[in-house]
Amino acid sequence: MQRLGSQLVIFGSLIVVLFAFQNCNKAFSPAEMNRLKHTSLSSTSLEPIRILPLGDSLTYGVGSSSCDNGGCAGYRLPLYQSLKDDGVNFTLVGTESTGPDSLPEKNHEGHSGWRIDQITAIANSVITQTNPDIILLHIGSNDVAQQLNLPTAPQRLGELVDLITTLAPDVHLVVALVVPVQGNVYGYDTLIQNYNSGIEPILAQKQAQGKKVYTVNMYSTINSSFTSQDYAYSDPAHLSNIGYEKMAMRWKNALFDNAIIVPRSE
């Protein structure tokens, strides 16, 4: 009887080894890989999802209260906290690092005042260094503010998207329709609307080509009225904590709604 029990243990161990071997060689679909990645932060067995916040001062976080308390963070702080609360195993990546003590991961690629062409100039280097799985891109506001060849700004954005998806064809690139200018000061918000209208069909075309490109409407997320609390005090171009929290939730919803990150089954 004791001998039979030992044989059963050995047989059971062989089954476990064979099962593990088969699964190590299984080719998982992208959806399955995303599902595997979305695990509790307490898990140490899977690689974290690498998220690159990329763009201008709205990525850097100008206007948020954290700028006066250790470093600007903008939407990155509430996005980090919300994804962590949902048990997502992720890390923020980038060659820049700013943020308050309450933001454990401060890496990002937000550059205040930068235009599309400037982000394009560093894209190769940044993607090589950071190896992102997901890129959150908000860019174009400064092309409008500086009125740099506005008719071709959507085309420049399209070329940036092509560059990123060529450098990293497996990356999930989430592109924002940029936020409005409060109260249409100096008519800039009209120009923002024209820019957003120009990039929407370009992004749709990239999606139709099978690229992992997604559009998120940050413009409609923010209340641009003169009485809105979404903006920093006396700053019609940058957001308050309230506005950045709205941005964070819009990014997160885009990640979940497009199944870029698939929530775990409890």
pLDDT tens by residue, 151-183: 999 999 999 999 999 999 999 999 999 999 999
The pLDDT value given to residue 161:
98
Tell me, yes or no, whether 190 and 92 share the same domain: yes
Evaluate whether residue 262 is within a structural domain. no
Q: Is a pLDDT exceeding 70 seen at residue 4?
A: no
Average pLDDT score, the chain: 86
Tell me, yes or no, whether 150 and 210 share the same domain: yes
The pLDDT value given to residue 3:
42
The pLDDT value given to residue 243:
97
Question: Whole-angstrom Cα distance, residue 66 to residue 62?
Answer: 9
% of the chain surpassing 90 pLDDT: 76
Evaluate whether residue 265 is within a structural domain. no
Question: Structure tokens of 157?
Answer: 């954005």
Look at the alpha carbons of 211, 264, 81, 192 in this order and tell me if their dihedral is positive or negative.
Answer: positive
Question: Whole-angstrom Cα distance, residue 145 to residue 9?
Answer: 71
Tell me, yes or no, whether 16 and 111 share the same domain: no
Evaluate whether residue 264 is within a structural domain. no
Evaluate whether residue 84 is within a structural domain. yes
The pLDDT value given to residue 265:
56
Q: Is a pLDDT exceeding 90 seen at residue 40?
A: no
Q: Which domain holds residue 26?
A: 1-30
Question: Whole-angstrom Cα distance, residue 103 to residue 156?
Answer: 33
Would you say the pTM of this structure is higher than 0.85?
no
Tell me, yes or no, whether 111 and 83 share the same domain: yes
Q: Is a pLDDT exceeding 70 seen at residue 27?
A: no
Tell me, yes or no, whether 203 and 155 share the same domain: yes
